[in-house]
Structure 1
Amino acid sequence: MEYKIEVNNQEEIYDIGKVARQAAGSVMLKIKNTVILAAVSRDDTPVDGNFVPLTVQYIEKTYAAGRIPGGYIKRETKPGDFETLTSRIIDRSLRPLFPDGYAYPTQLTLFVLSCDPEVDLQVAALNAASAAVYLSDIPINKNVAGVRIGCIDGQYVVNPSNTELKNSSLDLYVAGTKEELLMIEMRSIATNESIPMPIAAIDPMLDPALSENLVATQSANEFDEDAILKAIDEAQAAITAATSAYETIFTPLKKEDAILEYKADLKNDSIYAYVDEFYKNDVKRAIEKMAKSERARDLDEIIKTIMADDIAVTETWEKELVSAVVNEYKKKIVREMIVFERVRADGRDLTEVRPISIETNLLPNAHGSCLFTRGQTQALAIVTLGGDKDGQMYDKLTEKNVETDDFMVNYNFPGFSVGEAGPLRPPGRRELGHGNLARRALEPLLDVNRLQTIRLVSEILESNGSSSQATICGGSLALRAAGLKTEKLVAGIAMGLVFEGDKHAVLTDIMGLEDHDGDMDFKVAGTRDGVTALQMDIKLGGVSRDVLKEALYQAKEGRDHILEIMEKADEEIVINNDILPKLELFSIDPSKIVDIIGQGGKVIRELIEKFEVSIDLEREKGEVKIAGGSKTKVEAAKTEIMEIVNKPSFGGRGGGRDNRGGGRPRREEKPVPTFAEGEVVDGKVVRIVDFGAFVQLPGDIDGLLHVSKIADHRVDKVSDYLEIDQAVKVKILKQNGRKIELGLEK
């Protein structure tokens, strides 16, 4: 039966009891022409461990958009990144609702059966998933809603369409119940604002007649803490409206809760008192061990010692029970130190950031690199620059054409980073999620009209909390180390909250222990001017808006501290210019394209061979793209092309018009002078490049004096031997048309 709900700028139609009727709960949700099936199933036998064995699988079917999968295998195979990240969002939003001690294997499956390009699939998927779980016999008695908040022309918009979102400066995704928020993800979106500029400010070599077609761009959008809080308020109001509507419709349809057995927490007051009396200091010393592996070994030793005590033998304490009590006691000590003593396990103040060290371009053959170390968390960020054909191609269900990603962030987390032995595996949901967070933080500060494809890889070499934020810090500097003109530096910091009764503590730069034993953690990344990305996994029940505001502003203080250190490191960057690839894109008069090509393609072939570059020409727009492995050679090729373009066009090179078409009479091109091999002539140095010098010869033609022909030994710097306008005697070594190779006559 269909149930229509009008809420938050969209009509949601839930078809209940029609399909997947053997699942514990299922719905088919329709929003416009998007249809999503959500079904949840539960095993009857619980697992041994005390955790929620929930698996979420969000799968997009290409038939939903009227397409057949690309590639050799014509069916859906491995989920794409968007599917994996959406599964992760649903998992993080629903997992907190399961009852304590619930240990029944549960699988939530979502199929996108039909796709409307204007519908937000992540919002629709979470709402469908929540409905399926709520209607099932699983004892969950709260509805969850997901909403997206955009900011268009300075106004907050609830659930913007996909087209509207492209014009938004904010992308805030929030999931929650009527009473509390569960998950927040936020990113700022770069905008492409056209600003007319004087031609000389863009490129003094270009023809001034083209200035009216050229603009500069400004991209960054940052949101201050108050703006973020206002957007979250909008989201909370929208979630309350949606969940209230769901409750009214779904409650009468909900299945009766299944009678289930729940895992009891392993507790024992006597053992707890025994640990407190005799092992309190030992536990505190174990807590002070910063490395996870060292702390775990010390706690294991304490457990073994207790198990060997006479009282443990007499009382027949089980090791599993003692282990649970010791770990619970450890958690209590950590929390009480923070809230009541205002000190942390490593001795830091609550607002103190761990020591930071930064080293840039330590990898000689990488385009850009940065080793960022904060306490016992260390990220090696490496940037590689490529051309427009190096981007990652992917299909997006809401887009008709294949998309290309020209900024990729890959986060890797090997076991040795936390002292564990294990095989290297393909990236999982956590790795994809952390990489996506770093990308969202950094992308708004990149030039929206950049020519390069950028791949940023973060190798986590050591981890004790906040490795995703170390990736952001190291990645921001690695981009600068690769010579990219990012608008501002971006820093990331992980914050924590701990509550004990009516007291709370906000922690800056949390480590792994505090993440594990705290009540809330959230990650904030941005510049000095505002936040570019935010991720929170929280439950705001009992947490006031003032506490959240306190945490956001404390994060700003920590972020500014890190940025100050990063700015000093930025000033010391030495760019690897010799290995950086170069890409130039500029516009000329379209009628001059034929001059660059030359008769039969002769001129462009000579340019490609001479400067070892690739040259792409767009005839209609007059665009010229030059790419090569050497910045100097690319710039030299551009210089020569501009010289060709700026010469009067007599039609000789590219097939200019003759008088047969009634146009201007064709003039003869100036003949190329011919020299004898071995002939010595007078010349003048007109340009110096890293691979030699160009010498003007009699007849107004240039020859190339290669660096190997300047002296009897290797020349490291041509300018040490030659200078512009210097008169030289050169020998003609070889001539092939306009291409002349020279040797320096001693």
Structure 2
Amino acid sequence: MSDEIEKSLDKTYSSKIDKLFDIEGKKERENAYNDIVKEASDPHLEDEKIYSEVKEYVKTMFKNAVRKTVLEKKVRVDGRGLDDIRAISIVPSLLPRVHGSVLFTRGETQSIVALTLGNARDEQIIDSMTSDYKKSFMLHYNFPPYCVGETGRIGFTNRREIGHGHLAERSLKPILPSSEEFPYTIRVVSEITESNGSSSMASVCGGSLAMMNAGVPIKEHVAGIAMGLITDGENHAVLSDILGTEDFYGDMDFKVAGTKDGISAIQLDLKVPGLPMEILSMALEQANKGRLHILDEMNKAISSPNALSQYAPQIESFKIDKEKIGALIGPGGKNIKAIQESAECVINIEDDGTVSVSAADRKALDNAVNQVKAVTEDPKVGSVFDGKVTKTLDFGAFVEFAPGREGLVHISHLDWKRVEKVRDVVSVGDKVKVKLFEIDKQGRLNFSMKLLKDKPK
């Protein structure tokens, strides 16, 4: 491309490019920029080489204008100051049927974050080269083409989505409750619906808000911010909450996530050979200021965990004697299957004796836990059980009060009145309520039905 064409482009379009900074909206600014490119390149349509060179030159003019305006005027593409944060909007419980959700919007970057709670069987099994392990916390990040105004195939998760998801997941890990305090598997999904910079950090903010919305007992929020840098070697400007344009034409993308007390994760991408400690310190200090502002906005929306969603599974975790694991499972899994079927629950047993019981509601959970404890704990005299008659003999009836565990109701304890035949009172398969009144020297359990009835006068 000749010097004459370059001078003509500089003279005609420099002022028009400068006016792009007066436009706040990303789409409107892009349309205005595309109009300039079209106007400048269309006269050279017949010469393919010059046509492409003109388009590239206008792009370079815009890049230089972005950098010059920031360095000299301390004004950014959308008119903000160097440390200004875009407007934040938060809508909790956007999806009422899920266990937790939030719509997080910062400027023109928006994420719908949904959270699902599950039991121990929902943990992700990782089969790596070095070891096998399970994850009880997962964050998945989705970046569909439409969020940046493009069309494209939505298929397998790409490398970028995996990387952003890992960063957001690591940012939130330090605030998670222990498995003893909260024995749930947590899956967070961040759907980016609009993107103009820092969508991974929006996922961090949305993930923290969604956890509190779902009732996960986290003590404080985690917020994320993306910092940028423009430098010419002598002068430099650190930018807070960068736009996509500032990321593309700038020299740094520095993501910082953390609570009000400290940093939980960072990621630094540089386009310059190195970063002086002075600039790094300035970026961290400016990121801290921005993060605290974002945390204030998040706390205005949700400052403490809600009650657990009515749609979330009810889970209770406790330990049993390791020697009792076999009894709980039963031959061929007979006992544990029977409890899960009768109580409509899911039971998970760890090698150390930790038992996790999950059910749809509290009533079903309590029923399941009682059945598990009836199998694994030695029953105490005075306890009352719901049982089923498994066998009748002349001297009494055997009642199964927990899978694989039976006791005897002697004929004299079937009723206060004299009973001639056991079958006159109970039959095999009858469901009865019994009270344990004695454990003999041989460890046999003696139950009574009559002690649960009023004694005739």
For the superposition of Structure 1 and Structure 2, which TM-score range results when normalised by the shorter chain?
A: 0.7 to 0.9
CA distance in 1, matches of 2:125, 2:165: 17
| Residue matched to 1:274 | 8
Conservation of the 8 A alpha-carbon contact between 1:352 and 1:509? yes
Q: 1:664 aligns with which of 402, 427, 441?
A: 441
SS of alignment partner, residue 670 of structure 1: strand
CA drift at 1:366: 1.3
CA drift at 1:699: 6.3
Q: 1:483 aligns with which of 175, 200, 215?
A: 215
CA drift at 1:423: 1.9
Distance 1:268 1:325, change over 3 A: farther
Matching of residue 432 in structure 1 with residue 209 in structure 2: no
CA distance in 2, matches of 1:307, 1:609: 72
Distance 1:501 1:531, change over 3 A: same
CA distance in 1, matches of 2:216, 2:48: 65
Q: TM-score, normalised by structure 2?
A: 0.76
The within-5 A match list for 1:387-536 is: 387-399=119-131, 402-449=132-179, 450-536=182-268
**Per-residue Cα deviation, 1:405-439 (whole angstroms, up to 9, x for no partner):** 33222111111101112221312111111111111
Q: Which amino acid aligns with 2:449?
A: V
| Residue matched to 2:33 | 299
| Residue matched to 1:553 | 285
**Per-residue Cα deviation, 1:521-548 (whole angstroms, up to 9, x for no partner):** 1111111111111111125646421111
Conservation of the 8 A alpha-carbon contact between 2:215 and 2:306? no
Aligned-residue RMSD, C-alpha: 3.8
SS of alignment partner, residue 352 of structure 1: coil
CA distance in 2, matches of 1:435, 1:617: 30
Distance 1:316 1:580, change over 3 A: closer
| Residue matched to 1:624 | 355
Q: TM-score, normalised by structure 1?
A: 0.48
Distance 1:275 1:501, change over 3 A: farther
Q: Which amino acid aligns with 1:527?
A: T
CA distance in 1, matches of 2:42, 2:400: 97
| Residue matched to 2:109 | 377
Distance 1:567 1:294, change over 3 A: same
**Per-residue Cα deviation, 1:133-186 (whole angstroms, up to 9, x for no partner):** xxxxxxxxxxxxxxxxxxxxxxxxxxxxxxxxxxxxxxxxxxxxxxxxxxxxxx
| Residue matched to 2:392 | none
**Per-residue Cα deviation, 1:482-513 (whole angstroms, up to 9, x for no partner):** 22122432111100000134111000000101
Of 439-448 and 494-503, more deviation after overlay is shown by 439-448
CA drift at 1:625: 2.4
CA drift at 1:375: 0.3
Conservation of the 8 A alpha-carbon contact between 1:578 and 1:631? no
CA drift at 1:454: 2.1
Conservation of the 8 A alpha-carbon contact between 1:657 and 1:664? no
CA distance in 1, matches of 2:21, 2:66: 8
CA distance in 2, matches of 1:392, 1:414: 24
CA distance in 2, matches of 1:631, 1:282: 66
Conservation of the 8 A alpha-carbon contact between 2:347 and 2:358? yes
Conservation of the 8 A alpha-carbon contact between 1:291 and 1:464? no
Distance 1:540 1:283, change over 3 A: closer
CA distance in 2, matches of 1:298, 1:504: 28
CA drift at 1:480: 1.9
Q: Which amino acid aligns with 2:255?
A: K
Q: Percent identity?
A: 40
Distance 1:545 1:646, change over 3 A: same
Of 352-361 and 314-323, more deviation after overlay is shown by 314-323
SS of alignment partner, residue 90 of structure 2: strand
Of 562-571 and 546-555, more deviation after overlay is shown by 562-571
CA drift at 1:577: 2.1
CA drift at 1:338: 1.0
| Residue matched to 1:538 | 270
**Per-residue Cα deviation, 1:345-389 (whole angstroms, up to 9, x for no partner):** 111111111011111221122111111100000011111222222
CA distance in 2, matches of 1:352, 1:276: 31
Distance 1:323 1:348, change over 3 A: same
Structure 1 gaps of 5+ residues are 1-266, 675-696, 701-746
Q: 2:118 aligns with which of 386, 399, 409?
A: 386
